């Protein structure tokens, strides 16, 4: 019966050994202990202890500084290990804001892989270093960002007008030149956040006039109003995050909002992207994604080949340069949200949430790029996407010549039920003045204004019966019986028939639509005779009857 | 008397009393004197509320490793380990969806030693399930369920069910994908009586399945209500039920005369002379004297000499503590090398495919894939009923306390294993290769499939084999040996198929690498 005694003795000892091993591992072999043991401050070795930054208002308790000691409050001088380097100077002092607010990751973990989120199924990994600016989106809403080309021309204006001579922006310019010339003007990197003197131009002119010589005389000359507007665009977007603004401007140039909503504005064909940056890598498939299974790689591959990454995705592949794909990825990663207490609510978010300011610039070109370009093409020439109906060219001069601004605005506002075009006023979240700006921009795209037309909206008196026989012999081949649509678009669409004037319909049939199968019906073709104006009026009368309206 | 001197005397006495407090505490704790001699140790065991669950003396047969293999103590030890680690986990666990997942992550990544504690909890829970099943097998094969232990066998079945329930309810708590979809399957099994009521067209009047599911989930879907229910079951109701049943189980062991042993155990032991045993009483008692007036019949001690018993303290306690530490050792060792799984946050819109129940239910799930009602409720009920009936049908005495004792013996068990393994493998192979009734006759009524499917056929074959055993050996024990062996083998085969060979949509795959890529 001794063997029971030995069993007890042996297994107890083994348990003790294992527990002691676990205790040693837990207490002595942790990486952060090793790093801290090597750390030396000005006063000598630093105490080895768990360090953390706690900010209850932000809901932060970050133990990152247990390894990154030098980034902690008052520890900038600690050295001794390659990881022990101070954070570069930033507006948001890590000692107050912690680390995870900007960088993501798991602040409460104390092992590298866990803290950085490089573990399987971890829902929120740390943002990669080259996408750090995406972290800004958690709290900030950069406002009034124009499309890529508008931003580029604003930046070109700023550089062309030599503002960088005196002013420093995003780390460039403002250097005092040796041998006279150049001076330190105020740093303009944060004008979009802090604001600036709107009367700057007059003051510059006065100072330049008063100055006897030097840079005020040499480097400044009055700026045209066009350039002033460009400079305003540029200054409004200086928020100390140039990469993020540039990325956002790319997002606003490829019509993404035509299908996706962000913060309540946009189409409904694709998923709402307001929090797309928080996507959980554990919930997506990395089967078709080359490289590391990170959200960054996933998104980049998803932009290149949406349907292979997300089964059943209808999103057209973005035919973009690597840089633009990286920018889109950066911006998408920045689409995240943190609930903030009042004291930490940044002004830009406040303006966006409480005062309904837009994150996109409200000029027609930017709006068209952000909302329309995805389907109608960046130049408004329409698009044909595999698996989808073809989207009409709205910059077509024949179309623009016969259509009124009211009709365009009405169509944009209410959409076209039964087709892909949504109503942008109610469902899309655009405002009436923004739609107006888009319509004006569409006019400039086709460079065509409407031919003057003084006739009322409904002036045709011809007989629908006659129109019916013409329609059936000539039009129904493309537009289908009773105008139900075939190769050509359906014409029995309620909203179309309500908003289109008689003149518009007659003009469209008479002129045709260049670049499409719709030819001018005043001219004969090999397959059909020419129609007369009265024939065309009869067809329009028939079209009107398709809804059971006046015959 | 001088009041001053009286005062002085009382004070001195007080000081003297104070000085002797430690000694008195010791004396009152060990009222029969320090447990250093067999006599005082016996008094100690007898007078201690926890230890008196043991008899004062233990038969040497019970202490042989081959008698019990320590499986009962292993089950209790695993339970105690889960109890301690479970209470530790409760300090951090938050039983609310999303928060639950976050708190498990915190336990895993942040809480000092939290990962180890959780791993130990998980391994101890699994070991408990294994130990309980093996303990039942041990009790069966040594025919320990026979008179007077019939009722304790029933209590043991109750403990098996509660153990499985405890393990299963713990499965949901992490609120990850694994948990969420396993519980969804569990809830659907609870709802499976609808298969019958639907087939009969009476669901709208009588819906026990829907009621069961509602009681389990507290809602139509797996959500916050289900989580709090499972939490309460896991940390309170089931542990209390288990503790109560365990108390009865242990108490009955004592009342039923300790571990089962063969009638000739004493002679067999006496073949080897052992100095550690010595007579306490000089002769076998004609009756036991306590409660003689109340207890009818003879108690189990009557007519037996105590020659082959040893004091429980320390001999039995060494064995028990040894097994307990061994269990702890295995748990800690496994916990150090293997982490408890934690998948991504539960997402009702992304079903796991295949969604698998915990491993010990995968045999059931395999049967459920043929018929939810039969696999999830019908056959398990039949099995439990059959197990419960064993001690009341087998009233023989041959082979009690012997491994594989009884007519047929080890030969029969070996033969039963062949039957037990081959039948499910053949039936499964047939069903996998050729499909089943639904594939051949798409319009066949569900009721027919409920009654005729691989699982019911397997059950029927086993039952027929058992009847053959009874006839062949003219013994109910032989029938039980055959049936129980088949049951264990079938459980094993189905569990292995469910675990390793079922892929998305519960399709058969030889290896997970053959699973279709999405």
User: With contact defined as beta carbons under 8 Å apart, do A321 and A346 qualify?
Assistant: no
What are the respective helix, strand and coil percentages of chain A, to the nearest 5? 45, 5, 50
Q: Quick check: A504 pLDDT over 50? A: yes
Share of chain A above pLDDT 90, in %: 20
Q: Give the separation between CA A182 and CA A166, rounded to whole angstroms.
A: 6
Compare CB distances from A4 to B63, B105, B342 and report the shortest one's residue. B63
* H or E element that contains A44: strand A44-45
Inter-chain touch A123–B342, beta carbons under 8 Å: no
What mean pLDDT do residues B77-102 have? 93
User: pTM to 2 decimals?
Assistant: 0.74
Q: Quick check: B278 pLDDT over 70? A: no
Q: Quick check: A548 pLDDT over 80? A: no
Q: What's the confidence (pLDDT) of residue B117?
A: 95
Q: Give the separation between CA A419 and CA A394, rounded to whole angstroms.
A: 15
| Residue B7 pLDDT grade (very low, low, confident, very high; cuts 50, 70, 90) | low
Residues of A in contact with B63 (CB under 8 A): 1, 4
- Nearest Cα residue in chain B from A288: B518
| Residue A28 pLDDT grade (very low, low, confident, very high; cuts 50, 70, 90) | confident
Q: Is A549 on the interface with B (CB under 8 A)?
A: no
Share of chain B above pLDDT 90, in %: 43
What mean pLDDT do residues A409-429 have? 87
CATH of region A244-354, choose from 1.20.58.220, 3.90.1150.10, 1.10.760.10, 1.10.287.130: 1.10.760.10
Inter-chain touch A12–B325, beta carbons under 8 Å: yes
Instruction: Provide φ and ψ at B253, rounded to 5°.
Output: -55, -45
The tokens for A209 are: 């006039």
* Averaged pLDDT score across all residues of chain A: 86
- Nearest Cα residue in chain B from A109: B110
The tokens for B324 are: 């307990």
Q: Is A14 on the interface with B (CB under 8 A)?
A: yes
Q: Quick check: B497 pLDDT over 90? A: yes
Inter-chain touch A283–B347, beta carbons under 8 Å: yes
User: With contact defined as beta carbons under 8 Å apart, do B509 and B501 qualify?
Assistant: yes
| Residue A472 pLDDT grade (very low, low, confident, very high; cuts 50, 70, 90) | confident
What mean pLDDT do residues B48-64 have? 84
| Paired sense of beta strands A60-62 and A261-262, if any | unpaired
Q: How far is B209 from chain A (nearest CA, A)?
A: 32
Q: Is B113 on the interface with A (CB under 8 A)?
A: yes
**Domains of chain B and any CATH numbers:** 70-263+290-347 (1.20.810.10), 356-518 (no CATH)
What Cα–Cα distance (Å) separates residue B8 from each residue in A180, B15, B19?
Answer: 105, 11, 17
Share of chain B above pLDDT 70, in %: 91
* Averaged pLDDT score across all residues of chain B: 86
| Residue B204 pLDDT grade (very low, low, confident, very high; cuts 50, 70, 90) | confident
Inter-chain touch A110–B336, beta carbons under 8 Å: no
Q: What is the CA radius of gyration of chain B?
A: 28
Q: Is A50 on the interface with B (CB under 8 A)?
A: no
Q: Is B518 on the interface with A (CB under 8 A)?
A: yes
What Cα–Cα distance (Å) separates residue A49 from each residue in A37, A94, B107, B437?
Answer: 10, 19, 20, 68
What mean pLDDT do residues A269-292 have? 85
Residue reference for tokens 């002119």: A205
Q: Is B120 on the interface with A (CB under 8 A)?
A: no
Q: How far is B64 from chain A (nearest CA, A)?
A: 8
Q: What's the confidence (pLDDT) of residue A347?
A: 85
Inter-chain touch B518–A4, beta carbons under 8 Å: no
Q: What's the confidence (pLDDT) of residue B309?
A: 79
The tokens for A15 are: 């348990």
Low-confidence winner among A268-277, B165-174, B505-514 (lowest mean pLDDT): B505-514
Residues of A in contact with B344 (CB under 8 A): 121, 123, 280, 282-283
Q: Quick check: B4 pLDDT over 50? A: yes
The residue among B268, B330, B41, B45 whose CA lies nearest residue A7 is B330
Residues of B in contact with A109 (CB under 8 A): 109-110
Between B98 and A365, residue with greater pLDDT? A365
User: With contact defined as beta carbons under 8 Å apart, do A507 and A539 qualify?
Assistant: no
Q: What's the confidence (pLDDT) of residue A50?
A: 84
Per-residue pLDDT tens digits for A224-239? 999 999 999 999 888 8
Q: How many CA atoms lie within 13 A of B434 on its CB side?
A: 10
| Paired sense of beta strands A265-266 and A261-262, if any | antiparallel
Burial of B29 (0-12, 13-18, 19+ CB in 10 A): exposed
Q: Is A287 on the interface with B (CB under 8 A)?
A: yes
Count of H-run helices and E-run strands, chain B? 24, 2
Q: Quick check: A549 pLDDT over 50? A: no
Compare CB distances from A15 to B318, B329, B344 and report the shortest one's residue. B329
What mean pLDDT do residues B341-348 have? 80
Q: How far is A236 from chain B (nearest CA, A)?
A: 40
Per-residue pLDDT tens digits for B415-458? 999 999 999 999 999 998 888 878 888 888 888 888 888 999 99
DSSP letter, residue B295: S
Compare CB distances from B326 to A5, A11, A106 and report the shortest one's residue. A11
Q: What's the confidence (pLDDT) of residue A551?
A: 33
Q: Which of B67, B102, B116 to substitute to test the interface with A, most A CBs within 10 Å?
A: B116
Q: Is A108 on the interface with B (CB under 8 A)?
A: yes
Q: Give the separation between CA B213 and CA B219, rounded to whole angstroms.
A: 8
Q: Give the separation between CA B178 and CA B183, rounded to whole angstroms.
A: 9
Q: Which three-class secondary structure string do you get for A199-248?
A: CHHHHHHHHHHHCCCCHHHHCCCCCCHHHHHHHHHHHHCCCCCHHHHHHH
Residues of A in contact with B109 (CB under 8 A): 106, 108-111, 114
Q: What is the CA radius of gyration of chain A?
A: 32
Inter-chain touch B109–A106, beta carbons under 8 Å: yes
What mean pLDDT do residues A376-397 have? 82
Q: Is A106 on the interface with B (CB under 8 A)?
A: yes
Inter-chain touch A283–B65, beta carbons under 8 Å: no
Q: Is A22 on the interface with B (CB under 8 A)?
A: yes
Distance from CA of residue B22 to its chain's centroid?
Answer: 43
Angle formed at CA A429 by CA A427 and CA A431, multiple of 5 degrees: 125
Burial of B57 (0-12, 13-18, 19+ CB in 10 A): buried
Residues 6+ apart with CB under 8 A from B295: none
Compare CB distances from A18 to B319, B336, B517 and report the shortest one's residue. B336
Q: Is A21 on the interface with B (CB under 8 A)?
A: yes
Between B272 and A118, residue with greater pLDDT? A118
Residues of A in contact with B336 (CB under 8 A): 18, 21-22
ipTM of the complex in this document: 0.82
Residues of A in contact with B308 (CB under 8 A): none
Q: Give the separation between CA A375 and CA A422, rounded to whole angstroms.
A: 12
Inter-chain touch B319–A4, beta carbons under 8 Å: yes
Please identify, in words, the CATH class of the domain defined by A464-545: mainly alpha
Between B279 and B263, residue with greater pLDDT? B263
| Residue A550 pLDDT grade (very low, low, confident, very high; cuts 50, 70, 90) | very low
Residues of A in contact with B326 (CB under 8 A): 7, 11
Q: Is B326 on the interface with A (CB under 8 A)?
A: yes
CB atoms inside a 10 Å sphere around CB A328: 23
Using CB atoms and an 8 Å cut-off, which of residues 111-150 of chain A contact chain B?
111, 114, 121, 123
Per CATH, the homologous superfamily of domain A364-446 is Cytochrome c-like domain (1.10.760.10)
Per-residue pLDDT tens digits for A106-158? 887 888 888 888 776 666 788 988 888 999 988 888 888 999 999 999 999 99
The tokens for B106 are: 């915190």
Q: What's the confidence (pLDDT) of residue B447?
A: 84
Per-residue pLDDT tens digits for A44-102? 889 988 888 988 888 888 889 999 999 888 888 888 888 898 888 888 888 889 999 99
The tokens for B139 are: 């009790």
Q: Give the separation between CA A242 and CA B10, rounded to whole angstroms.
A: 89
| Residue A184 pLDDT grade (very low, low, confident, very high; cuts 50, 70, 90) | low
Q: Which three-class secondary structure string do you get for A328-389?
A: HHHHHHCCCCCCCCHHHCCHHHHHHHHCCCCCECCCHHHHHHHHHHHHHCCCCCCECCCCCC
Q: Is B102 on the interface with A (CB under 8 A)?
A: no
What mean pLDDT do residues B246-266 have? 87
| Residue B518 pLDDT grade (very low, low, confident, very high; cuts 50, 70, 90) | very low
Q: How far is A388 from chain B (nearest CA, A)?
A: 24
Q: How far is A224 from chain B (nearest CA, A)?
A: 57
Inter-chain touch A108–B109, beta carbons under 8 Å: yes
Q: What's the confidence (pLDDT) of residue B166?
A: 94
Low-confidence winner among A33-47, B52-66, B344-358, B383-397 (lowest mean pLDDT): B344-358
Q: Which of B276, B312, B319, B348 to substitute to test the interface with A, most A CBs within 10 Å?
A: B319
| Residue B197 pLDDT grade (very low, low, confident, very high; cuts 50, 70, 90) | confident
Residues 6+ apart with CB under 8 A from A281: A122, A123, A125, A293, A294, A295, A298
Domains A244-354 and A464-545 share a fold: yes
Q: Give the separation between CA B186 and CA B167, rounded to whole angstroms.
A: 13
Residues of B in contact with A7 (CB under 8 A): 318-319, 322-323, 325-326
Q: Is B134 on the interface with A (CB under 8 A)?
A: no
Q: How many contacts, defined by CB atoms under 8 Å, are there between A and B?
A: 81
What mean pLDDT do residues A528-537 have? 85
| Residue A210 pLDDT grade (very low, low, confident, very high; cuts 50, 70, 90) | confident
Per-residue pLDDT tens digits for B300-318? 555 555 567 788 888 889 9
- Nearest Cα residue in chain B from A19: B332
Q: Give the separation between CA B446 and CA B226, rounded to whole angstroms.
A: 30
DSSP letter, residue B30: S
Q: For chain A, what are the domain ranges?
A: 34-126, 148-238, 244-354, 364-446, 464-545
- Hey, which residues does A126 pair with through a beta bridge? A104
Q: Quick check: B274 pLDDT over 80? A: no
What mean pLDDT do residues A305-311 have? 87
C-beta pairs of A408-414 under 8 Å, 24+ apart in sequence? A408/A439, A408/A442, A409/A435, A409/A436, A409/A439, A410/A499, A411/A495, A411/A499, A412/A438, A412/A439, A414/A495, A414/A499
Inter-chain touch A1–B63, beta carbons under 8 Å: yes
């Amino acid at each position: 019966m001794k063997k029971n005694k030995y069993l007890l003795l042996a297994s107890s000892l083994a348990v003790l050994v294992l527990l002691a091993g676990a205790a040693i591992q837990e207490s002595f072999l942790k990486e952060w202990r090793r790093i801290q043991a090597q750390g030396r401050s000005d006063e000598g070795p630093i105490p080895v202890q768990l360090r953390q930054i706690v900010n209850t208002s932000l809901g932060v308790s970050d133990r990152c500084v247990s390894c990154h000691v030098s980034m902690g409050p008052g520890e900038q001088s600690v050295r001794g290990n390659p990881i022990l380097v101070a954070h570069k100077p930033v507006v948001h002092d890590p000692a107050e804001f912690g680390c995870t607010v900007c960088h993501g990751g798991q602040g409460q973990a104390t092992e590298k892989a866990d803290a950085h989120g490089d573990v399987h199924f971890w829902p929120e990994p740390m943002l990669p270093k080259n996408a750090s600016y995406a972290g800004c989106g958690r709290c900030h809403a950069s406002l009034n960002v124009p499309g890529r080309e508008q931003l580029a021309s604003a930046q070109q204006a700023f550089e062309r007008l030599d503002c960088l001579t005196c002013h420093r922006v995003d780390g460039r310019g403002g250097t005092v030149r040796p041998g006279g010339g150049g001076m330190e003007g105020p740093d303009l990197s944060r004008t979009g956040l802090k604001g600036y003197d709107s009367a700057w131009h007059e003051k510059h002119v006065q100072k330049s006039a008063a100055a006897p010589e030097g840079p005020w005389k040499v480097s400044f000359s009055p700026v045209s109003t066009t350039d002033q507007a460009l400079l305003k665009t540029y200054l409004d977007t200086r928020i100390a995050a140039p990469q993020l603004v540039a990325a956002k401007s790319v997002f606003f140039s490829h019509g993404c909002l035509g299908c996706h909503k962000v913060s309540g504005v946009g189409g409904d064909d694709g998923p709402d992207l307001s929090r797309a940056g928080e996507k959980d890598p554990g919930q997506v498939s990395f089967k078709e994604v080359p490289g590391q299974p990170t959200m960054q790689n996933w998104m980049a591959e998803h932009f290149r080949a949406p349907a292979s990454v997300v089964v059943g995705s209808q999103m057209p592949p973005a035919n973009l340069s690597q840089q633009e794909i990286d920018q889109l990825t950066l911006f998408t990663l920045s689409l995240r949200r943190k609930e903030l207490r009042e004291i930490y609510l940044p002004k830009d978010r406040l303006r966006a949430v409480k005062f309904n300011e837009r994150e996109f610039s409200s000029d027609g070109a930017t709006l068209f790029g952000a909302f329309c370009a995805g389907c109608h093409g960046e130049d408004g020439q329409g698009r044909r996407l595999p698996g989808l109906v073809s989207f009409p060219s709205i910059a077509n001069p024949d179309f623009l010549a016969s259509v009124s601004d009211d009709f365009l605005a009405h169509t944009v506002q209410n959409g076209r039920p039964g087709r892909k075009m949504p109503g942008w006023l109610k469902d899309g979240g655009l405002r009436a003045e923004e739609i107006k700006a888009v319509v004006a921009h569409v006019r400039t795209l086709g460079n065509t204004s409407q031919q003057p037309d003084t006739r009322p909206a409904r002036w045709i008196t011809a007989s629908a019966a006659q129109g019916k026989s013409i329609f059936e012999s000539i039009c129904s081949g493309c537009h289908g019986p009773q105008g139900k649509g075939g190769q050509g678009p359906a014409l029995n669409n309620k909203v179309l028939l309500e908003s289109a004037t008689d003149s518009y319909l007659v003009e469209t049939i008479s002129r045709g639509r260049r670049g499409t199968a719709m030819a001018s019906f005043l001219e004969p073709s090999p397959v059909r005779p020419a129609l007369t104006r009265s024939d065309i009026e009869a067809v329009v009368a028939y079209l009107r009857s398709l809804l059971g309206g006046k015959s | 008397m001088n009041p001053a001197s009286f005062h002085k005397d009382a004070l001195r006495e007080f000081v003297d009393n104070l000085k002797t407090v430690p000694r008195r505490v010791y004396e009152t704790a060990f009222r029969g004197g320090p447990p250093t001699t067999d006599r005082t140790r016996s008094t100690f065991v007898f007078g201690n509320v926890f230890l008196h669950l043991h008899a004062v003396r233990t038969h040497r047969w019970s202490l042989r490793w081959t008698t019990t293999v320590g499986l009962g103590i292993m089950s209790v030890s695993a339970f105690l380990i889960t109890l301690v680690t479970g209470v530790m986990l409760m300090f951090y666990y938050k039983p609310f969806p999303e928060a639950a997942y976050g708190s498990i992550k915190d336990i895993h990544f942040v809480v000092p030693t939290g990962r180890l504690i959780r791993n130990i909890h998980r391994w101890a829970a699994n070991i408990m399930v294994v130990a309980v099943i093996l303990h039942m097998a041990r009790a069966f094969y040594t025919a320990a369920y026979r008179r007077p232990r019939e009722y304790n066998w029933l209590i043991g079945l109750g403990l098996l069910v509660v153990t499985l329930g405890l393990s299963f309810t713990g499965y949901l708590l992490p609120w990850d994908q694994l948990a969420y979809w396993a519980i969804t399957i569990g809830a659907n099994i609870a709802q499976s009586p609808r298969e019958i009521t639907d087939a009969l067209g009476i669901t709208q009047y009588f819906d026990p399945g829907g009621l069961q599911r509602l009681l389990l989930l507290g809602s139509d879907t797996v959500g916050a209500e289900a989580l709090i229910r499972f939490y309460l079951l896991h940390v309170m109701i089931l542990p209390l039920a288990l503790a109560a049943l365990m108390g009865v189980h242990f108490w009955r062991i004592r009342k039923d005369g300790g571990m089962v042993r063969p009638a000739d155990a004493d002679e067999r032991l006496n073949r080897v002379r052992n100095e550690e045993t010595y007579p306490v009483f000089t002769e076998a008692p004609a009756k036991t004297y306590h409660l003689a007036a109340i207890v009818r019949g003879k108690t189990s001690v009557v007519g037996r000499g105590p020659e082959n018993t040893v004091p429980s303290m320390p001999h039995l306690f060494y064995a028990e503590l040894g097994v307990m530490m061994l269990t702890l050792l295995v748990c800690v060792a496994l916990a150090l090398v293997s982490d408890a799984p934690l998948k991504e946050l539960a997402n009702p819109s992304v079903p796991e495919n295949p969604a698998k129940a915990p491993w010990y239910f995968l045999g059931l799930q395999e049967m459920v894939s043929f018929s939810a009602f039969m696999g999830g409720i019908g056959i398990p009920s039949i099995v439990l009923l059959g197990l419960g009936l064993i001690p009341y049908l087998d009233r023989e005495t041959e082979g009690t306390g012997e491994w594989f004792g009884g007519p047929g013996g080890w030969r029969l068990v070996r033969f039963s294993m062949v039957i037990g393994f081959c039948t499910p493998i053949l039936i499964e192979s047939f069903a996998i290769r050729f499909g089943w009734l639904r594939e051949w006759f798409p319009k066949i009524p569900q009721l027919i499939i409920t009654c005729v499917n691989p699982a019911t056929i397997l059950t029927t074959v086993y039952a027929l084999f058992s009847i053959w055993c009874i006839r062949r050996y003219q013994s109910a024990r032989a029938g039980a040996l055959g049936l129980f062996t088949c049951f264990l083998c079938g459980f094993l085969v189905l569990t292995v198929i469910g675990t390793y060979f079922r892929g998305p949509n519960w399709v058969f795959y030889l290896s997970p690498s053959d699973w279709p890529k999405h």
